[in-house]
């Protein structure tokens, strides 16, 4: 499969805007390097390069909701303990997930993240039978930020 096809599929799956294109391509390459291929006899490119069996339990769905933990020293007693962000990939510089906060327009890398892989920040709007526009997932409507 071609890298751009994988990136396009990941963007479309979670209705991510095209400005996340670079993140989707980087994530596609990251995943492809950890996917077995027949050209190297069922090994992954990363496994062939490093000689170590890979753990893929950390892989997540691009574009899903990521709740990033806010450390005690960066919040007051009444502040929320997490920030609601969008998972946009994996950090290559340090162990952690790259998460984008649309409210602050800032990128953050963190290992302390809880994912909701079934929900997207950019859920498609659906028209209910009564004609009222609603988000596809009612539970995500409650917490969705503008």
The structural domains of the chain, with segments of one domain joined by +, span: 3-119
The confidence band for 1, taking pLDDT boundaries of 50, 70 and 90, is low
User: Residues 27-79: pLDDT tens digits?
Assistant: 999 998 888 888 888 888 888 888 888 888 899 999 999 999 999 999 998 99
User: Residues 22-31: pLDDT tens digits?
Assistant: 999 999 999 9
User: Residues 71-82: pLDDT tens digits?
Assistant: 999 999 899 999
pTM of the predicted model as reported, rounded to 2 decimal places? 0.76
In this predicted structure, what is the pLDDT of residue 132? 44
Full DSSP string of the chain? --HHHHHHHHHHHTT--GGGHHHHHHHHHHHHTTS-BGGGTTB-HHHHHH-SPPP-TT---TTEEEEEEPPGGGS-TTS-SEEEEEEEEE-SSSSSEEEEETTTTEEEEES-EEEEEEEETTPPEEE-TTS-EEES-HHHHHH---
């Amino acid at each position: 499969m071609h890298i751009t096809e994988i990136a396009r599929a990941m963007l479309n799956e979670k209705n991510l805007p095209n400005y996340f294109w670079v993140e989707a391509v980087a994530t596609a390459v990251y995943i492809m390097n950890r996917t077995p291929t027949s050209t190297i006899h069922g090994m992954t490119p990363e496994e062939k390069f490093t000689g170590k069996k890979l753990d893929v339990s950390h892989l997540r769905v691009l574009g899903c909701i990521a709740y990033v933990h806010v450390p005690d020293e960066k919040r007051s007693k009444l502040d929320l303990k997490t920030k609601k962000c969008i998972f946009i990939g994996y950090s290559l510089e340090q162990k952690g997930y790259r998460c984008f906060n649309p409210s602050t327009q800032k990128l953050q890398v963190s290992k302390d993240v809880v994912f909701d892989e079934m929900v997207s920040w950019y859920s498609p709007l659906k028209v209910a039978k009564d004609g009222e526009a609603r988000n596809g997932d009612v539970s995500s409507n409650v917490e969705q930020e503008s």
